[in-house]
Structure 1
Amino acid sequence: MSSENSSHSPERSLGHSPEPRPEQPLRKPRVAVVFGGRSSEHAISVVTAGAVLRSIDRTKYDVLPIGITTDGRWALTADDPERMGIADRALPSVEQIAESTDGSVVLSVDPGSREVVYSEPGAVPKVLGDVDVVFPVLHGPYGEDGTLQGLLELSGIPYVGAGVLASAVGQDKEYMKRVFTSFGLPVGPYVVIRPREWELVPDGEGDGDGNGDQGRAPGAAARKKIVDFAAEHGWPLFVKPARGGSSMGITKVDDLSGLDEAIAEARRHDPKILVESLLRGREIECGVLEFEDGPRASVPAEIPPVTEHDFYDFEAKYIDSAAGLVPAPLTPEETAEVRRLAVAAFEATSCEGLVRADFFLTEDGEFVINEINTMPGFTPISMYPRMWQESGVGYAELVDRLIQAALRRPTGLR
């Protein structure tokens, strides 16, 4: 036995204790903020990420900004929120802030160690360190719809927000409404046109050989379905992508003459479209946030009519920054009811983390739920943070609560 390990070592025989080793500081949780993506909401995701990066407490967390380009490549980006906003009506992109100028950086996640690794052509992969939680601020398909959530579940990495099922349901407006209906939540009239319906002809007008009628224009059956819906519920109609967001691809159609152009615009974003009738009433929104003891609803907000736009579209939301009323001028009974319905929608779709629920308060005094957003607009001017600010939870605290909720939550079945 060496003298260092002997009970008769000089230090011990003289009654001296060994020098205490300095305590190693605890490693801060590392948060990967993932943003951008392949959907038409790419730019808004970049704007959201800039606000989140600006607000994360750097004394509490290490931060790793990771952007996904419009063609699906993953890249390290500059941690520079000032370059991630809308400037002079110009929208930002991941390509503008990627650290690799040729966009060649590739990232992957090691499922065993949660390490994020990046490599460049001809270079040895470099380990960026353990990632403790991912904050995905992607909007729309290929990010908010359960695809990224599934990847993170496979990798065993905790993440902010809804899981795979809730994300998928929250992205697809048809199935979202079906879930709401099954839980007794009121929804407005709608009709869905699936991609295959564009190639069908109306009943009785085919030639019976199963190949369709070559004399009919593609989409005749789908168009007839919408016209029949309009005959039952009246004009105007709203034609929208079934799996979109940020009001992109939505057209208000006042009569038959504008229908074809509206369909083409919606299908430019999604081959599956949703057509809704006009609900006359007030637009009310309510935020839901997961606390330690369960989900709670914020004070609601109202989106007043926007005089320079047909409806609360993308330009009104993000370019002209049309402001909603927070809190909404509702009676105490109306406020309590919309908050109850918002939490009910959160629970019905098995959401986690956060949700913004959008309603119409009809002229009959009834609330009708329009949709939920599992990763709502999260810029400082967005309604979700504004509603929580009015409810006593500031933007930085909101970000922190979401990260902490994700760190508490295991991956896998739960």
Structure 2
Amino acid sequence: MSKRVRVGLVYGGKSGEHEVSLSTAMAVIQAFDHTKYEVKPFYITKEGSWRSGPVLEGPVANKELLKLEAEPARGVAKVSSLQGTESPGALQPIFQAGTGDDNALDVIFPLLHGTFGEDGTIQGLLEMANVPYVGAGVLASAVGMDKVMMKKMFAQEGLPQCVFRHFTRAQWEKDQPFFLMEIEISIGYPCFVKPANLGSSVGISKARNREELIEALALAFQFDRKAIVEEYIEAREVEVAVLGNDSPIVSVVGEIVSSNEFYDYKAKYIDGKSAMIIPAEIPADIAEQLREMAVRAFQAIDGSGLARVDFFLRKSDQAIMINEINTMPGFTPFSMYPLLWKETGKPYRELLNDLIQLALERHEGKQHLKYSFDT
């Protein structure tokens, strides 16, 4: 039997999407072929502590066990194989990854959503350690998380977008009347208010008047120092999955029909009533435009590994407007990204295999670069 690939799964994290990350980790662990991969868990608590556990030889009973508590949480059965070891020792296998050491990992799979995981921070740590890892690099991760910088990159690429305005908390506090006037003249009501750096629709509000706009900005600034305000568009929400490095491929187009007024956190993860239509019922030429624009968006931020690109399809004239790119989309078997690939002909387990291989290929390519210059 050939040697199994040693994969370090990193999940949890200091983020409003901590629980989403646990669900993703649970799904990935269940799906891995454990005869092909050795899966070692690394849990980051909400406070930022790292905990590592022993290699998992199969699926885990429930996601609470993934928290690697030194003592199991109340009501959770004691499972000795999932008791954690606190940092800094927990990080040692990660820094040994790719070294060929018998106890080292072959590749890291960051399953972190939101801040301190999807924003380039952990990617920077892994780059410094020179280890293979799944997904986007530092630049793409950072740009993909910051909606303001993302939109500026899309504008440079010539991708059509809705009207938006952005400012920091300090700017807002200094000159509220100016920004209120600018928003009301250039965007109007209703409008959407979002933290610039966050995902899973956390901190997003729909404002219908000035009072709601002020309340929405107060909420957004609880999650980030920078906020973005976007025009409301009567549109269908459609999405495309991207997979690859320098020559990415794209999935069929899917559509989200939200159970709420807009696709917020509750509609995504709690009430279970939102519908995913895959493939989306749209004309073939529009679907092809969406797929082509998804590749352009992926390459505009220098993406690698995976991404989901979200669009608005305006109902009045079928105009396409890019909304955002997500470099670590939800990854349970019931999330849009894997479902898009399933409909395209790539099942969940095959998708995991591809992502591991893309990570190893990307890392191997970087090993031929020079990082010093002798005069």
How far residue 266 of structure 1 moved from its aligned partner, in angstroms, is 1.0
SS at match of 2:275: coil
1:168 and 2:142 matched: yes
Show the counterpart of 1:108: 91
Structure with greater helix percent? 2
* CA shift in 2, pair 1:40/1:324, >3 Å: same
Question: CA–CA distance in 1 between the matches of 2:224 and 2:85?
Answer: 28
Identity %: 43
Show the counterpart of 2:76: none
How far residue 261 of structure 1 moved from its aligned partner, in angstroms, is 1.8
Show the counterpart of 1:196: 170
* CA shift in 2, pair 1:111/1:395, >3 Å: closer
Show the counterpart of 1:331: 283
- Aligned 8 A contact 1:193 1:272 in 2: yes
Q: TM-score, normalised by structure 2?
A: 0.87
Question: CA–CA distance in 2 between the matches of 1:168 and 1:93?
Answer: 30
- Aligned 8 A contact 1:161 1:375 in 2: yes
* CA shift in 2, pair 1:274/1:128, >3 Å: farther
**Whose Rg is larger?**
1
* CA shift in 2, pair 1:281/1:68, >3 Å: same
- Aligned 8 A contact 2:255 2:280 in 1: yes
> Residue deviations 1:53-91, cap 9 Å, x none?
11111111111011100010011258554311xxxxxxx
Question: CA–CA distance in 2 between the matches of 1:134 and 1:112?
Answer: 10
Question: CA–CA distance in 2 between the matches of 1:50 and 1:227?
Answer: 47
How far residue 104 of structure 1 moved from its aligned partner, in angstroms, is 6.4
* CA shift in 2, pair 1:274/1:63, >3 Å: same
How far residue 156 of structure 1 moved from its aligned partner, in angstroms, is 1.1
- Aligned 8 A contact 1:76 1:99 in 2: no
Structure 2: which amino acid aligns with 1:165?
Answer: L
> After the TM superposition, which residues 210-229 of structure 1 pair with which residues of structure 2 at under 5 Å, given as runs?
221-222=175-176, 224-229=178-183
How far residue 305 of structure 1 moved from its aligned partner, in angstroms, is 4.3
1:98 and 2:69 matched: yes
Question: CA–CA distance in 2 between the matches of 1:139 and 1:222?
Answer: 32
- Aligned 8 A contact 2:93 2:104 in 1: no
**Structure 2: 5+ residue runs without aligned partners?**
73-82, 370-375
Show the counterpart of 1:10: none
Show the counterpart of 1:88: none
Question: CA–CA distance in 1 between the matches of 2:155 and 2:125?
Answer: 30
1:311 and 2:262 matched: yes
Aligned counterpart for 2:227 among listed residues 262, 267, 273:
273
Structure 1: which amino acid aligns with 2:289?
Answer: E
> After the TM superposition, which residues 125-204 of structure 1 pair with which residues of structure 2 at under 5 Å, given as runs?
129-200=103-174
* CA shift in 2, pair 1:147/1:249, >3 Å: same
Show the counterpart of 2:292: 340
> Residue deviations 1:181-208, cap 9 Å, x none?
10111111111121321342xxxxxxxx
* Aligned residue-pair number: 349
Question: CA–CA distance in 2 between the matches of 1:272 and 1:62?
Answer: 41
Show the counterpart of 1:83: 62
C-alpha RMSD over aligned residues = 2.3
Aligned counterpart for 2:330 among listed residues 360, 377, 385:
377
**Structure 1: 5+ residue runs without aligned partners?**
1-24, 85-91, 117-126, 201-220
Show the counterpart of 2:22: 46
- Aligned 8 A contact 2:98 2:132 in 1: no
